[in-house]
Chains A and B, each alone.
Chain A
Amino acid sequence: MTGPATSRERGQPARIQRAPATAPLARSKVGATVIDAGVGNIGNLVRALRHLGAVVEITCDPATIRASRCLVLPGVGAFRPPRERLRGAPEKAIRGALGDGATLLGICIGYQLLFDSSEEFGTTDGLGLLGGRVTELPGGVPLPHIGWNRVFGVAEHPLLEGSTEDDHYYFVHSFAPEGVPEDSVLGRCRHGRSFPAITGHGRVLGTQFHPEKSGAAGLRLLRNYLAWAGDLAAGVDGGNIATAAGD
């Protein structure tokens, strides 16, 4: 056992040890499957995961998704094109993998896809893996919301080991989830309204911001995700994750 799981075992408060957040994982290689829903530039996410030591596969092939134990669903742009791309076999493969214990991290539009529905250009159903619906941020502040914003109310969760209330992350979006059950909100952000910036339920997690563009804080989050997914895939008990995430 190495890495973040050690402090969890000792029941200490979530805080990463002195290992630099940006350093590669001190463990055997973790495989990560990046689901390519065909829209937007996912190169920088793949670069960040590889920088952290992950062996990355980029695919939309249902069989590959189904066999993965560590899924990442990125996305930029609009909600509907990637939603339609996932409909049918890829979506079924994601559900199947989750049923077998895989983890899933949605990022930006990939995060929004996890919820019940989105109101961007009319109502579209989402994957329904997280409760809540995606609505436009209110006016009175510049939209799109582009730049670094603070995430507060950070919950204790393996994904957020080492994070503080002063951490800022890089956002690019105009829509955000609302009506999310409080026990699955892991961190909030304020832009026009307060919205869940990080949400997690069981093994399904997501961030509205781009961790791959959020400097050391973002890399630490991705590193935590890979370590957590690796622990779970290796059959290591994930500590109190299930209860913490309300499972």
Chain B
Amino acid sequence: MRATIEPTGLTRRIIPCLDVASGRVVKGVQFKNLTDHGDPTEAAGRYAAEGADEIVFLDITAAPERRDTDLDWVRRTAEQVFIPLSVGGGVRSVDDGRKLLLAGADKLGINTAAVAEPELLTRLAERFGSQCVVLSVDAKRRDDGTAGNRPSWEVVTHGGRSPTGLDALEWIEEGIERGAGEILLTSIDSDGTKEGYDLELLRRASALSPAPVIASGGAGTLEHLGDALDTGAAAVLAASIFHQSTYSVGTVKEYLDRRYPIRTQTGVTA
């Protein structure tokens, strides 16, 4: 038994994110200039072996091109990778969600479709449970607060190309009320820059959200990941630092383990 009784042993999660386009892992700065980073199943398997707590797939071509998410790579991944898999992009109906879950996804990421039709969140939660429904919010600063105003963020969709007029924090609250079980919060300003997460956005979102907030966009150093968890985020998501082998998931966990409850894999990996 530990000396202190903790109310929970729940760990903070480290989540590699794989942007997928046409069945390949891709990455670009602010969703532009995409470069090829290999096979999704292989990458997910490698990260799971390193200790990733979950894998998030975002099919970033799905919404603008109005095509179904290619499910073969989801199926292949679910046959080989036995940690939670979240798949977003192109989920526009309960039937789209059902197909993804049957292919092996454990969670559905909903972004553009939820903005267009907020009731979709409720229908998905009623059918599959809130634990399946991740509201993915892409937020862009519209006021940096330098003029004395409170900073605010606007929800953008279609990979950052379309403004919506929605306030990001209000949208998060509404999304949870409608049935979202988790919030994947991406700063479009920071995404791909490796200059750190938008900590103020994360702090504000974590303070108001009863659902777990997954920090996304801007990870470049180990300190950035720790800073994001300091805001109260339940999980940190990163892509470039893992794809470019700046850090392994194991290295990240070793670093964060000093400050946070982290799942380590003692005795499992050789």
Residue of B whose beta carbon sits closest to that of A190? B9
Contact partner of A47 (CB less than 8 A), chosen from B78, B128, B131, B182, is B78
User: With A146-B131, A170-B84, A219-B82 given, is the CB distance from A191 to B9 under 8 Å?
Assistant: yes
Q: Does B3 contact A (CB under 8 A)?
A: no
- Bitwise, A76-116 to B at CB < 8 A (1) or not (0) is 11000000000000000000000000000000000000000
- A residues neighboring B (CB under 8 Å): 18, 20-22, 41, 43-44, 47-48, 50-51, 76-77, 140-142, 144-150, 152, 162, 164, 166-168, 170, 172, 189-192, 212-220
Please, how many angstroms separate the alpha-carbon atoms of A211 and B270 in the complex? 20
A215 touches B181 (CB 8 A): no
Given contacts A150-B11, A212-B82, 20 further A-B contacts (CB under 8 A): A18-B270, A41-B101, A41-B128, A43-B78, A47-B78, A47-B82, A51-B79, A51-B82, A141-B8, A142-B10, A146-B182, A147-B13, A148-B53, A166-B264, A166-B266, A170-B84, A190-B9, A213-B82, A213-B83, A217-B265
- B residues neighboring A (CB under 8 Å): 1, 5-11, 13, 48, 53, 78-80, 82-84, 101-102, 104, 106, 128-131, 181-182, 210, 212, 234, 263-270
16 A-B pairs (CB sep. < 8 Å): A22-B82, A41-B101, A47-B104, A48-B82, A144-B131, A144-B181, A145-B8, A147-B13, A148-B10, A164-B266, A190-B5, A190-B6, A191-B7, A191-B10, A214-B83, A216-B268
Interface class of chain A by DSSP: mixed
Residue of B whose beta carbon sits closest to that of A18? B270
Please, how many angstroms separate the alpha-carbon atoms of A48 and B208 in the complex? 37
A192 touches B7 (CB 8 A): yes
Q: How far is the CB of B143 from chain A (nearest CB, A)?
A: 31
Q: Which residues of B contact A145 (CB under 8 A)?
A: 8, 10
A149 touches B11 (CB 8 A): yes
Q: Which residues of B contact A22 (CB under 8 A)?
A: 82
Q: Which residues of B contact A146 (CB under 8 A)?
A: 131, 181-182, 212
Please, how many angstroms separate the alpha-carbon atoms of A30 and B83 in the complex? 23
Of B6, B264, B265, B266, the most chain A CB neighbours within 10 A belong to B265
Of A41, A147, A213, the most chain B CB neighbours within 10 A belong to A147
Q: Which residues of B contact A144 (CB under 8 A)?
A: 130-131, 181
Interface class of chain B by DSSP: loop
B83 touches A215 (CB 8 A): yes
B102 touches A43 (CB 8 A): yes
Q: How far is the CB of A141 from chain B (nearest CB, A)?
A: 5
A149 touches B83 (CB 8 A): no
Please, how many angstroms separate the alpha-carbon atoms of A170 and B101 in the complex? 18
Please, how many angstroms separate the alpha-carbon atoms of A173 and B247 in the complex? 33
Q: Which residues of B contact A150 (CB under 8 A)?
A: 9, 11, 263
Q: Which residues of B contact A190 (CB under 8 A)?
A: 5-9
Q: How far is the CB of B155 from chain A (nearest CB, A)?
A: 24
Q: Which residues of B contact A213 (CB under 8 A)?
A: 82-84, 106
Please, how many angstroms separate the alpha-carbon atoms of A189 and B8 in the complex? 8
Please, how many angstroms separate the alpha-carbon atoms of A146 and B79 in the complex? 22
User: With A170-B84, A192-B7, A215-B48 given, is the CB distance from A43 to B104 under 8 Å?
Assistant: yes
Please, how many angstroms separate the alpha-carbon atoms of A43 and B77 in the complex? 13
A218 touches B131 (CB 8 A): no
Contact partner of B13 (CB less than 8 A), chosen from A148, A191, A219, is A148
Of B129, B130, B210, B269, the most chain A CB neighbours within 10 A belong to B129
Residue of A whose beta carbon sits closest to that of B264? A166
Please, how many angstroms separate the alpha-carbon atoms of A24 and B53 in the complex? 22
A189 touches B131 (CB 8 A): no
Please, how many angstroms separate the alpha-carbon atoms of A140 and B6 in the complex? 12
Q: Which residues of A contact B80 (CB under 8 A)?
A: 51
B7 touches A147 (CB 8 A): no
Contact partner of A172 (CB less than 8 A), chosen from B1, B8, B131, B264, is B131
A41 touches B102 (CB 8 A): yes
Q: Which residues of A contact B265 (CB under 8 A)?
A: 215-217
Please, how many angstroms separate the alpha-carbon atoms of A215 and B269 in the complex? 11
Q: How far is the CB of B209 from chain A (nearest CB, A)?
A: 10
A141 touches B83 (CB 8 A): no
B9 touches A21 (CB 8 A): no
Contact partner of A149 (CB less than 8 A), chosen from B10, B48, B181, B182, is B10
